[in-house]
Each structure stands twice: as C-alpha cells, then as structure tokens.
Amino acid sequence: MLDSLIDVLPLLMAATLAVFLFAGFPVALTLAAVGFAFALLGNALDLFPVVALFNLPLRMYANLGENLIYPAVPMLLFMGIALERSGIARELLTCLSLMLRRLPGSLAIAVVVIGVILAPSAGLIGASVATLALIALPSMLAQGYRVPLASGSVAAAGTLGLIFPPGLMLFFLADHMEVQLGYMFLATVVPGLVLAVLYVVYLLARTAIDPSAAPRVTETEPIPALRFAIYVVRSLALPLLLVFLVLGSIVAGLATPTQSSSVGAAGAILLMVLNRSLSFRLFREIVEATALMTAMVFLIVMAATVFSYVFIYLDGSSVVTDAIHGLGLGRWGTLLFILGMIFVMGFFIDWIEITVIVLPIVSPALEALDFSDYIGVPGLSMLWIAVLVALNLQASFLTPPFGFALFFLKGAAPPEVRLEQVYRGVVPFVALQVAGMALVLLFPLLATWLPVLALGSP
C-alpha cells in the first residue's frame, strides 16, 4: 500500500500544479501552496517529516546566494529595460532602416536584426514584443505593409533574441541543465543565425513575389557620409559592442556572469548619456521596473524550490523518469516526447516556470539519453538537447492560438490590427522555426561546432 502511494503522490502533485496553473492562478503562489500542501499530506502518510522543511531556507540560499547565475539577473534586466525605454531601440530601427532602405521589406528585416541585438531584454517576452510593436508596427503600417506580414515579423523578431546570448533564458537553461554557460552561449549562436537568415530570406522572397505586401521606404534626402557614419556608430555599433563585451567576457573567462552583466548595465547607462536620454525620472523608472521584474523572477525561483524539494523528497524524479522510460519509446522517441511536452506547456506558462519547474523533473530522463555517438563529440549530448529546448520554447511563444507573444503583440498594436491577422502573419515564421529545429536535430554540428572550436571538448 505504501509503495503504491509513493508512486501515485508525485504524479498527483504534478497534476494538481498543472490544473491550478492552467486555471490562471498566480504561478509563484501556486508553486509554494502545492509544495506545502503535499508536504503536509506526505507527513500525514508518514512519507515526509516536518523537520525536512527546515532545509528549505538553506536550499533557497544555495540557489540564489551561492549561484553565479542568479546574481546576474538584475543587471541583465536593467540593461535590457534601459535599451528599450531610453529610445536606443527606436534609434536602432531608424538606423537599420536607413542602411537597408534599398532592400524590399527593409523595415521588416530591420526589425528581425533588432530582435537579435536586443537579446538581453528578450527574456521578458512581453516587454520585447510590446516594445517592437510600439516602435515598429505603426511605421510599417503607415508605409503600407500588410497587417499579417508586419505583425508576424514583429512577433517573430520579439522572440528571436531568446536564443541569442546573453539572453536571460540561456542563463537559466545552463544552470538547470548543468551545462557550462560559455558553451551554452556559443551553442545557440549558429542556430540563432540560421533562424534569422531563414526569416530574412522569407521576407525577401515574399516581398519579391508580392511587392505590395511591403512597399519600399520612400527615398529621403542624402545624408553626408561623415554625419551618417557618426550616426551609425552611435546608434548601431555601440549597442553591438555592449552586447559583445557582455558575451565575450563570459566566453573568454575574463569575468563571471555577475561581473559581465554589471558591465552591461554600466554600458547601458553610458549609451543613455551618449544619446542624451538619461534623466533622473527615466533612471528611476528603469530601476523600479528592474526591481519589480527581479522580484517576480526570484519569487518564482524560491517558490519553485519549495515545490521541487517536496517533489524530489517524495521520489518524484524517479517516478517520472521510470514513467517516461516505461513508454518504451527509445532515446529518440523519449527526446521528441519531452520536447513536445515542453512545447505544449509553452502555450500556457512562461519559460521561467518551465525551466525552474519542468526541467528539474525531466532532467534525469534527459541525462539518461546519450547521443554522443550521434553528435560525434563525447560530453555534448546535454548541450545539444539544451539548444533544442531553447528553440522549442521560442517556437511555443509564437504558435497560435495560445502563443504568449501573440497576445502581447495584440495588446500593444494599433486598434485596427485584429488577432486573426496576427495568427495568419506568424504561421510562416512558425514553419521556419520548425525547419530550424529540424536542422539542429539532423545536423548537431550547428549547435556543437562553435563551442568546440572556441573552447574545445568539455
């Protein structure tokens, strides 16, 4: 009888969490409440001693205080929010649209490039998509872009930065999948660029076939070469240099994630000084927004610690691992099953909850899958899987009808943009996303080549 309870209780705990999350209850409160509720239930069944709860403060401190990843979160958030609210993102769009003005669909292509550059803020899906919608969508519609193409481009660009370093999601994935951060950063660069190229090729082809879908930018008065060069350096080169410094210092081992993110935050302030947007009021708004976002992230992490501690204590990891292996799907079937499960969950809950809740549960099953013979390099199996998970999460935010990015876009878009137009616009980009995932599945070198080249085999 007791053995059957041990098998059933963790599954019941996971099902209870899913029900309350899908019902719309606050994530952090739900995590903590379910964790404590099943701790009490486990105690009543002599499966969980109350004294075990005294370990929770120590585990929370170990997760947040002794971890090199989480202290970097506030500075990364500050950097991303500062780039968005200071007008730097708007200057980026103007600069890129001027540089690409001879290309068809230049504004849409510029938005895709901005999505890559603003990777530090891409961890905040709502913020990145809404910001791009506010700064780019009205200009695209005013120029005569068709609504589906314009809205699809903005939604896809707003989520593209998720998989580019130093995007916040990569920090969490590296931590929870036990992958070195430098390897995680470099592993997503080539797949991310492949996706960006697929997006740009689609936009060029679409506008070449149907020029009326994205009219060309109206020619403006010529700008003196020196003045334009200074403008490009200030609006494009400096933000790119800032992102490169944050990424390069971590990959080269010159700085910890906390130190490099601090450099990024200081660099964002310097950029605000250079574009004359820095004021006490703006600085206060950025600090307040950073504090609120940081509190939200850390509260979810602490609540997830409560849930995962009780779940693991009740032997939930072994139960889930045995259940997945019991399906008899083999290593490929198991991998695709877990990726599909994460994909569906991305419709309803954000990537933060997936990484701190779902990944610790399924990680033992993923670690048991050894693809070293397929990849060709020992020790990189989990890195390759982590890249697939990152691509998977990004795709889930775009997929109709529940993709988070679509609702954030509709909320920030002009009133004439209808949700069904947004749905039609993102379908080609979702197809390109699936194609990108398939390429990484078929050709693991896309994820492993650059890390091995730069850092060697682990």
**pLDDT tens readout for residues 253-308:** 677 777 777 887 888 888 888 878 888 898 998 888 888 877 877 887 788 788 87
The answer, yes or no, to whether residue 102 has pLDDT greater than 60, is yes
Mean pLDDT of the chain: 79
In contact, 162 and 390? CB cutoff 8 Å: yes
pLDDT of residue 152: 87
Residue 375 in this model has a pLDDT that exceeds 80: yes
What is the per-residue pLDDT for 267?
83
Mean per-residue pLDDT, 424-435: 90
pLDDT for 388: 93
d(CA 449, CA 434) in angstroms, rounded, equals 21
What is the per-residue pLDDT for 401? 67
329 vs 253, higher pLDDT:
329
| DSSP letters spanning 96-165 | HHHHTTTSTTHHHHHHHHHHHHTGGGTTSHHHHHHHHHHHHHHHHHHTT--HHHHHHHHHHHHHHGGGST
Cα separations in angstroms, 277 against 23, 43, 83, 86, 262? 42, 57, 11, 6, 20
> Is the predicted pLDDT of residue 222 greater than 90, yes or no?
no
CB-based burial label for 258 (10 Å; 0-12, 13-18, 19+): middle
- Rounded to two decimals, the pTM is 0.76
Q: Return d(Cα 114, Cα 158) in angstroms, integer.
A: 9
Contact status, residue 13 vs residue 38, Cβ threshold 8 Å: yes
Q: What is the pLDDT of residue 3?
A: 56
* 250: its two tokens: 């971590």
